[in-house]
Amino acid sequence: MTTKNLVIDGFLSSLLLISQVSLSWLPNMEMVSLFLILYTLVFGRHVWIILYVFVLLEGLFWGIGIWWFSYLYVWAIIPAAIFLLYNKNCPSPFSAALLSGTFGMLFGLFSSLPTLLTGGPYAAFVWWTAGIPFDILHGMGNFTISLILFKPLYQLLVRLKQHQS
């Protein structure tokens, strides 16, 4: 890993945190899902370094609670889905928006696993269903943001990757 790669990784990880914190005043609106789709498409397996630096920064910024442990696997679902579904081929903006929106809709379900382990199936079910209105907003926000910003951000990151080499 070169110094240039290290700086770019740090920048992209901090961009994830900054985008999340700057939108935190809106209920379940985030750009992390879109950025993870784009980072996976442009940087391939290198996304894992960017992702887990972001998760660590998230824990340092917000504090580490039971929710944080779910972020160790929940955010990894997006790069894994990209590798499985698209095999490094760039999806259409609509396809990327659909993936991002679906992820947002299922975010609460994916995040309920720690509650399943600590409180049992009933607690996890109640926790998940109580958050469904926010998951719907999350999915709609992710879909809209991805549909609008996918293409320009993809082109920008491809240019960054070209300058990285």
The predicted-structure confidence for 115-153, as pLDDT tens digits, reads as follows: 999 999 999 999 999 999 999 999 999 999 999 999 999
| Model confidence pTM above 0.75 | yes
Contact predicate 153/103, CB 8 Å: no
* Residue 21: per-residue pLDDT: 95
- When pLDDT is averaged across residues 150-165 and rounded to a whole number, the result is 90
* Residue 148: per-residue pLDDT: 97
* DSSP letter (8 states) at residue 120: -
What is the C-alpha separation between 156 and 148, in angstroms, rounded?
14
* Residue 88: per-residue pLDDT: 64
CATH of domain 3-164: 1.10.1760
Residue 163 has pLDDT above 90, yes or no: no
> Residues 33-56: pLDDT tens digits?
999 999 999 998 889 999 999 999
Amino acid symbol at 40: T
> Residues 61-97: pLDDT tens digits?
999 988 899 999 999 999 988 887 876 677 889 999 9
Amino acid symbol at 143: F
Residue 27 has pLDDT above 90, yes or no: no
Structure tokens at 111: 């995040």
* Residue 165: per-residue pLDDT: 65
- When pLDDT is averaged across residues 56-60 and rounded to a whole number, the result is 96
How many residues comprise the chain? 165
Residue 161 has pLDDT above 70, yes or no: yes
* DSSP letter (8 states) at residue 46: G
Query: Where exactly are the structural domains of the chain?
Result: 3-164
